[in-house]
């Protein structure tokens, strides 16, 4: 059991490392100059070069990656040039809403999945088993945004069981 756990944690760390490289390189392959994009096309070259140096984009790629990872570990996710403020609070705000959504989804999906699995097992190779299996596979292969729209239509528009809105205010309850 311990070897399995060590292997899974090791594979998770390798996956996170490779994912971080892909995300970092995704930002690096974009066309254009960072300083020019921030300062605009009319800025003189000296100001663009100064900003590029300040941001560190004139350093070697490996050095930039190391700084990027180190800053991320320390909680510094950079500055939003649109809002002129740190990015971390925006991410934390979105993470809170994502965790609420994941918790509600977990509470709904696990009992439904267990119940469906038990019913399908009790009706092995019968039409009910096929229907439950087909339904489960259909939900699995559909992209989340398609499933989300279908669920909004069913539970929000047709049945009117749930409100159709974005995140609720912090002081509101789950179903208010």
Strand ranges, E, within the chain: 79-80, 85-86
Task: Give domain limits for the chain.
Answer: 2-85, 92-158
Q: What is the pLDDT of residue 167?
A: 60
Pair 57, 37: CB distance under 8 Å: no
Q: Sort 123 into a burial class: Cβ within 10 Å, 0-12 / 13-18 / 19+.
A: middle
Count CB atoms within 10 A of the CB of residue 76: 14
Pair 49, 72: CB distance under 8 Å: no
pTM above 0.85, yes or no: no
Q: What is the pLDDT of residue 71?
A: 93
91-111: per-residue pLDDT in tens? Answer: 888 888 889 888 988 998 899
Q: What is the pLDDT of residue 159?
A: 92
- Which residues does the chain have with pLDDT short of 50? none
Q: What is the pLDDT of residue 171?
A: 64
Q: What is the pLDDT of residue 28?
A: 86
């Amino acid at each position: 059991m311990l070897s399995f756990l060590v292997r899974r944690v090791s594979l998770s760390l390798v996956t996170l490392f490779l994912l971080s490289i892909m995300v970092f390189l995704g930002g690096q392959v974009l066309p254009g100059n960072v300083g020019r994009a921030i300062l605009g096309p009319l800025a003189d070259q000296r100001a663009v070069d100064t900003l590029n140096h300040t941001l560190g984009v004139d350093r070697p790629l490996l050095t930039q990656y190391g700084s990027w990872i180190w800053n991320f570990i320390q909680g510094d996710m950079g500055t939003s040039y649109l809002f002129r403020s740190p990015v971390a609070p925006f991410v934390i705000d979105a993470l809170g809403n994502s965790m609420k959504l994941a918790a509600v989804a977990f509470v709904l999906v696990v009992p439904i999945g267990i119940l469906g699995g038990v019913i399908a097992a009790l009706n092995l190779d019968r039409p009910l088993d096929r229907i439950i299996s087909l339904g489960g596979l259909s939900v699995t292969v559909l992209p989340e945004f398609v499933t989300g729209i279908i669920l909004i239509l069913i539970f929000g528009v047709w049945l009117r069981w749930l409100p159709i809105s974005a995140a609720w205010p912090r002081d509101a309850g789950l179903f208010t």
